[in-house]
Structure 1
Amino acid sequence: MSEILRQQLEKITPLTDKEFDYILSHFTIKKLKKHQFLIQEGDIVHNDHFVIKGLLKAYYVNQDGKEHIMQFGMEDWWITDYQAYFNESKATLNIDCIEATEVLCLSLHNREKLCADMHKIEHFFRKKSSSGYVALQRRILSLLNSNAKERYEQLLQQYPKLFQRVPKTLIASYLGVSRETLSRFSS
């Protein structure tokens, strides 16, 4: 179960067994059922979550009750409400399970401790943060510059496995289009 975390860490930095055991000792495991919330708007966010198994969605509900999906999270991905996590404040996002899910939870305190204790882990999180900033910028630019069909094709090319696991209504919400519009692209 923890091998998936080790594989991700070692894509960036090699680890000894002792180093990995020390890192793993700073995580806790959480199992959730389909449709169960990992984080609800208004919760204090204590953890970042590494997905071992399952599929989640992070979303915001506007004043009109419309759901806007910000991110999906599947195996080998990290997910949380980062604004609330880093500011140790209340969540503005909801994160719930599309499938039964298992995550490894890392508190901000333990993350900071690991980074202070191990340069390798500080390097890992810096690289992951940089990749996250790039992905966020790409997503914003795509929303600003691409039409719905182009966004659909980009998502399909980037994450083909997502389309096999996520209902079309959720893909439509992520792309900011109606279910009907999405159906025209995928037919």
Structure 2
Amino acid sequence: MNEHPLRKQIEEIVQLTDDEFEFVLEHFQKKTFKKHQIVLHEGDYAPFDFFVLKGLMRVTKLDDDGKEHILQFGMENWWITDSEAFHHKTKATLVVDCLEDTETLALTLDNKEKLIRELPKMQTFFLKKTTNGYIALQKRILCFLSSNANDRYHNLITLYPGLIQRVPKSMIASYLGVTRETLSRLTKIEL
């Protein structure tokens, strides 16, 4: 039997019995979305943190000039939301949408807190995932500050294997903070 992707991810950090995993799973809602569907609008409350089972999502921010900036992609086995809005129960400043038909497991903050209270090893899991996410964000910021476009491109390939085959080049360029022309030069170097 194939192991459930969420269980596999949790057990990279803490071990669960079958009963414990069933208890964990009871706290999630399965949610499916269509390609191009906006899951979270700027200004709305963020009721869920999504674990992506299948598909591709992204987090974006529109600047004052109307330019879209991609902060994060969420592919299979990734977590995605507007973290500040989710954890502080405030209105979202970011947009979460689907780039492909997507299947998720959605977790509310109340259910996350209940899991942590009733199954303390889940606190270790969430703390480790949050810490790893913070470290990844820190590395991304440092990469933007000190790396050239070529290094950022290679970091993207490492972080999101297969992504460049799944999204338009304009989105890759937005994530990297480069023009589409610069991205074209970078991908030609790869060939």
Share of identical aligned residues, percent?
Answer: 54
1:16 aligned to 2:17? yes
Cα distance in 2 for residues equivalent to 1:50 and 1:157: 20
Cα distance in 1 for residues equivalent to 2:3 and 2:35: 21
The DSSP-based 3-state class of the residue aligned with 1:149 is helix
Q: Which residue of 2 aligns with 1:83?
A: 84
Q: Which residue of 1 aligns with 2:139?
A: 138
Cα distance in 1 for residues equivalent to 2:75 and 2:34: 14
1:99 aligned to 2:105? no
The structural deviation recorded for 1:49 is 0.5
Cα distance in 1 for residues equivalent to 2:47 and 2:160: 29
- 1:28-43 to structure 2, matched below 5 A, reads 28-43=29-44
Residue ranges of structure 1 left out of the alignment (5+ in a row): none
Question: What do residues 21-71 of structure 1 show as CA deviations (whole Å, max 9, x unaligned)?
Answer: 100000001110000011111111111000001001100000100000000
Distance 1:2 1:85, change over 3 A: farther
Cα distance in 1 for residues equivalent to 2:126 and 2:38: 25
The structural deviation recorded for 1:159 is 2.5
Question: What do residues 60-85 of structure 1 show as CA deviations (whole Å, max 9, x unaligned)?
Answer: 00010000000000000000000100
The structural deviation recorded for 1:166 is 1.9
Cα distance in 1 for residues equivalent to 2:117 and 2:78: 23
Cα distance in 2 for residues equivalent to 1:159 and 1:49: 17
Cα distance in 2 for residues equivalent to 1:181 and 1:23: 45
Q: Which residue type is aligned with residue 162 of structure 1?
A: L
The DSSP-based 3-state class of the residue aligned with 1:52 is strand
Q: Which residue of 1 aligns with 2:151?
A: 150
The DSSP-based 3-state class of the residue aligned with 2:162 is helix
The structural deviation recorded for 1:2 is 8.1
Q: Which residue type is aligned with residue 101 of structure 1?
A: T
Distance 1:2 1:68, change over 3 A: farther
Cα distance in 1 for residues equivalent to 2:39 and 2:150: 31
The DSSP-based 3-state class of the residue aligned with 1:169 is helix
Q: Which residue of 2 aligns with 1:182?
A: 183
Deviation beyond 4 Å, 4+ runs, structure 1? none
Q: Which residue of 2 aligns with 1:109?
A: 110
Normalised by the length of structure 2, the TM-score is: 0.95
1:6 aligned to 2:10? no
Q: Which residue of 2 aligns with 1:122?
A: 123
User: What do you get for the CA RMSD once the two structures are aligned?
Assistant: 1.2
Count of aligned residue pairs for this structure pair: 187
The structural deviation recorded for 1:150 is 1.4
Residue ranges of structure 2 left out of the alignment (5+ in a row): none
The structural deviation recorded for 1:120 is 1.2
Distance 1:22 1:2, change over 3 A: farther
